[in-house]
Structure 1
Amino acid sequence: MNELQILLAEDNKLNQLMIKKVVEDFGFALDIVETGKEAVEKLAMQHYDLILMDVNMPEMDGYTATKHIRENMGEKSNIPIIVVTSPSDRQEHVKSLLLGANTFISKPINADELLTEIMTLVITKPIFG
C-alpha cells in the first residue's frame, strides 16, 4: 500500500505538533496549513487521501472550508474529512456533519481513535459492492 497523504488544517502550533507526531508515527505523510482557505488551495493543487480539519481558524473556518470542498471541488469533493474539535461542543459536531464532514474527533487527539477513523474512512474496503 502507498503511504497515505493527509492534509491537516489547524492554526494552533501545539495541536499541529501533537497531530503530526501521531500521524507520522502511523507512517502517514502529513502537510499542514493554518486556515481553511489554505486547505482548499492545497487540495486544489495536490492529491490527499484525507483531511483533518479544525473548525476555528482565521481567514476561513473549517465549516466554510468543508462546505466549499463538498460543493466546489469536483472529483475531490468526496475526500474524507475528519473534523477535529473541542470535546464538549456537540453543536460543532452536528454542524460539521451537516456541512459534509464524514466524522469528528475531539481534542486532545487520542491516537487509537484517530487511527480507527482513518482505517474506517480510507484504508478498509467495503465488504459489499
Structure 2
Amino acid sequence: MDDDPMNLRVVQEILTAFGHTAVMASSGQEALARLACERFDVVLMDIHMPEMTGIEVVERLRASLGPERNTPVIALTADVLSRRPQDYAALGFADFVSKPILVSGLMASVRRAVAGIPSRRFSRAS
C-alpha cells in the first residue's frame, strides 16, 4: 500500500517478477477494507500517507477481531532517521524496508515475513 502510484507500480513489478501476485491499495481505508474480506500472505505498507498513516493502519489491523489481524506487515519508508528498526517491531510491523527499495532487500524481507522468521534487523545487540 502506497499513496504514490509510481511506488505502487515499482513494487508491483518487483513482486510480479518473482512470481507473486500483488493487490494494490492507495489508502489506509482501502487496505483495511481489503484485509477484512481477503486473505493476504504479507502486506507492504508505506509509513507516510495522507489521511491515515501506515502506523495507524497497523494499529487498526492489530486491534481488529478477524484473522487478518495477524497478517505480517512490512513497513516501507524513506524516513530512516526518525525511528530505529526495533521501533517498527514495537509498532506491530514484521520488518521494514527503506526507500529507495532495493530488490534484494525487499524480497528477503518478504521471505522472512511469510516464513514467520523475525527480522534480524529487529534483534537486539548484546
User: Does the alignment pair 1:72 with 2:64?
Assistant: yes
Change over 3 Å in CA distance of 1:92–1:37 after alignment to 2: farther
1:1-129 → structure 2 map (5 Å cutoff)? 9-91=1-83, 93-123=85-115
Tell me the CA shift for residue 17 of structure 1: 1.4
The one-letter code matched in structure 2 to 1:42 is R
TM-superposition CA deviations, 1:5-61 (whole Å, max 9, x none): xxxx10111111111111110110001111111111110011111000001112211
- TM-score with structure 1 setting the length: 0.81
- In the TM superposition, residue 98 of structure 1 has moved relative to its aligned partner by 2.1
Cα 1:93/1:57, change in 2 over 3 Å: farther
Note the C-alpha offset of 1:96: 3.2
RMSD over aligned Cα atoms: 1.9
Q: Secondary structure at the match of 1:88?
A: coil
Gaps of 5+ in 1: 1-8
- Counterpart Cα distance in 2 of 1:35 and 1:95: 23
Deviates further, 84-93 or 98-107: 84-93
Matched residue type, 2:58: T
Instruction: State whether residues 14 and 103 of structure 2, in contact with CA within 8 Å, keep that contact through their aligned partners in structure 1.
Output: yes
Q: 1:93: Cα distance to partner?
A: 4.6
Q: Distance in 1 between matches of 2:103 and 2:55?
A: 23
- TM-score, normalised relative to structure 2: 0.83
* Amino acid corresponding to residue 36 of structure 1 in structure 2: G
Report if the CA contact (8 A) 1:81-1:103 is conserved. yes
- Aligned residue pairs total 117
